Amino acid sequence: RGYNESSKPQGVRAYAVSELRNDVVAIADALRQDRVCLAGHDWGGIVAWEVAMHYPERLSRMVILNAPHPAAAQRFLTTKPRQMFRSWYVLFFQLPKIPERLFAARGFEAGVQALTRTSREGAFTDEDLQQYKRAWAQPGALTGMINWYRALVRYSRPQDLTPKTIEVPTRIVWGKLDEFLLPELASASLQYCSNAELVELDSASHWVQHDAPEEVNLLLRDFLLVGGAGAGAGPAGRPARPAA
């Protein structure tokens, strides 16, 4: 919700993480699927973690791309100054209207730079960037997108941050050159899973599926359609690291 041509409900509360995870379940219901495979990157990964915590019976497998378990993220944000520094924009997004205006200025220059300066060279083509700009230009889209961050700060309850062990078979794929998230968050997230593995891509950034699309597609296909947690292999035969 809030992005591109999706619906854009009014008010920050409409973007609380409880609403976002319920959207996923509602989509599965609409498709008449009791259990689904779920993959998510960044915010999509955070929502996937939430679905796995609150509706594990609706998931058969899950793949997370560069998104920390919420409990790990909370711990790092309160104890790791380096992660606090990297997450400065979350606080900036709490301001009214100003983030939207700056993001849209000069033809969405800030958004384009956020993609191109933190990814592998050539990961985003000119056509890709035009598609992003068209999505950002949709009426109400920027406010809807930024409201995800506003709601995260305003409407996260203490009980929502209580660590919950993820039982769903999970593969975490992590680009180690992430400029927004510390690489240690990947292994820290494994601590909250009972059946998970981590595959780290040394030369990929936060935008791992854009930087290494063939490798990521293989990792998705292998895990969701063929392999299983703890039994897979990383790129070029490098073993994926299972949870302890």
pLDDT tens-place string over residues 134-186: 999 999 999 999 999 999 999 986 656 567 799 999 999 999 999 999 999 99
The residue-averaged pLDDT of 101-115 equals 98
User: pLDDT tens for residues 17-53?
Assistant: 999 999 999 999 999 999 999 999 999 999 999 999 9
What mean pLDDT is predicted for residues 8-14? 97
Pull the structure tokens for residue 41.
């990157």
| Residue 86 structure tokens | 């990297």
Q: Are 107 and 133 in contact (CB under 8 A)?
A: yes
Q: What is the pTM of this model?
A: 0.90
Mean pLDDT of the chain: 92
* DSSP single-letter state for residue 53: H
> Residue 26 and residue 107: Cα distance in Å, rounded?
35
Active-site residues: which are they?
42, 149, 206
**What token pair was written down for 59?**
């998931």
User: 35 near 59, Cβ under 8 Å?
Assistant: yes
